[in-house]
Amino acid sequence: MRAADISGDLDRVLVTEEEIHAKLRELAAQVEKDYEGKKLLLVGVLKGAVMVMADFMRCLNREVVMDWMAVSSYGSSTKSSGVVQIRKDLDTDLGGYHVLIVEDIIDSGLTLSWLLSNFASRGAESIEVLALLRKPDAAKVEIDCRYLGFDIPNEFVVGYGLDYAEHYRNLRDVAVLAPHVYA
């Protein structure tokens, strides 16, 4: 689904699918250099990172292992509660791996900060973050994001895996959701 298909629900498009794919190719090339000869584990954060993870992995020209973790701090709200609930833990022992957390968006940073702390206690060789999007003005904690796609304004966005109450994940672009949809 493209933004034109649901234009009445959106204020404006921030990042197009084409821009996203170009950026993921660029980030993949850098990750390949940085992790050459290292045992790399990509950890996707469900459900939002599904699109980013799938497209990013297809850009990599190397063997890589992936796993998924599901955590929640939003529910059906548009703001993070800051209370992290594990819905699905990792299946992989992090020992011996260089872990790259693949995120759709860094908003307040609270959930990701919790994940970084949690993973640090599990014996990974290193832990870094790749995020497609970041809202610098929404940050409540500072997150060191080694691989970043785009900084965006502090507005509620949907598309490319990002949702509102489980809707709009299949929008190919990232767009600002019109307030009348969630007000």
Give me the active site residues, please.
Answer: 107
| DSSP per position, 64-111 | -EEEEEEEES-TTSSS--S--EEEE--SS--TTPEEEEEEEEESSSHH
Neighbours of 72 (CB within 10 A): 15
- Whether 137 contacts 156, CB under 8 Å: no
Number of residues that make up the chain: 183
Separation CA 126–CA 128 (nearest Å): 7
Report the DSSP pairing between strands 147-151 and 85-88: unpaired
Strand ranges inside the chain, DSSP E:
10-15, 40-46, 65-72, 85-88, 98-106, 126-134, 147-151, 157-158, 174-177
